[in-house]
A and B are shown apart, each in its own frame.
Chain A
Amino acid sequence: MPRLSIWLVRTALLALAAGAALGALILAAPGLLRWRPLHAELLTVGWTVQLAFGVAYWILPRFRSGRERGREELGWAAFVLVNLGVVLVGVGRSVPGADGWALAGRSAEGLAALAFAAQAWPRVKPFR
């Protein structure tokens, strides 16, 4: 498993553990209900989307010449942007008056998706 996939998958596991813990706390203490958007963001984007990034970067077909997994820097950009986005959206939608954070976070997540798609697109090809 390449280094970038290790970072993506391990961060996804941390998001899963944190998102589940926050969900349990919200159920135990209904006063924490306003943090539900952070719980949802950690488990949807932080866990499932990020895990898909990590596994795809690992197992998609590689190139026979040059850099075997293509433009790695785009993958690292996706890693940084998606995690920045999860935090900004989760906090921005949970804290009153922080709508600007949520917009910035959604923008970061969108850019992460673009960077990842640009990285993965040429690798979606027959195995050789």
Chain B
Amino acid sequence: MPPLTRWLVKAALLYLVTALVLGVAMQLPLAGRFPVLAVLWPTYLHILVVGWLTQLIFGVAYWLFPRYSAERPRGSDGLGWAAFVLLNAGLLLRIAGEPSRALGGDAHGVLLASAVSQLLAVWAFVLNTWPRVRER
């Protein structure tokens, strides 16, 4: 398993645990005392779908999809690492910004940066993966 895949899969596992702990916290009887827990539903969904599921797919696809070439079996390592860094930076910004906005704060800049970062991560992954989706 290449180093980038190990980072992606381990980060994905951390987000899975985080999301499920958050899910428990949102259901606790005393959750009503903490306004932030009442507005975390979209954040919880993004942690699960982006942090866990999409990141796990990135890691496994980078590892197992057909090789790009003998010299560069996994395509561009730079694009792969860029996808990892940008996806997680974007998600962390979202985790900070989404509840803040829901509670009335001005988080437009943070959320915009989050969106751009995640979009660039996705496009980097798609660009690197596209030529590997082919017959062996």
Chain A residues within CB distance 8 Å of chain B? 1-3, 5-6, 9-10, 13-14, 16-17, 20-21, 23-24, 27-28, 43-44, 47-48, 51
Judged by a CB distance under 8 angstroms, whether B114 is at the interface is yes
A13–B125 CA distance with the chains assembled, in angstroms: 9
A16 and B133 alpha carbons, distance in the complex (Å): 15
Question: Using a CB–CB distance below 8 Å, which chain B residues touch chain A?
Answer: 49, 53-54, 57, 65-66, 111-112, 114-116, 118-119, 122-123, 125-126, 129-130, 133-136
Main secondary structure of the interface of B (DSSP, over half): helix
Q: In whole angstroms, how far apart are the Cα atoms of A44 and B45 in the complex?
A: 11
Q: Evaluate whether A27 and B115 lie within 8 angstroms (CB atoms) in the complex, with A9-B133, A47-B54 already known.
A: yes
- The number of A-B residue pairs with CB atoms under 8 Å apart is 54
Q: Please determine whether A6 and B118 come into contact, CB atoms closer than 8 angstroms.
A: no
B122 touches A17 (CB 8 A): yes
Bound form: Cα–Cα A27–B57 in Å: 24
Please determine whether A16 and B122 come into contact, CB atoms closer than 8 angstroms. yes
- The chain B residue with its CB closest to the CB of A47 is B54
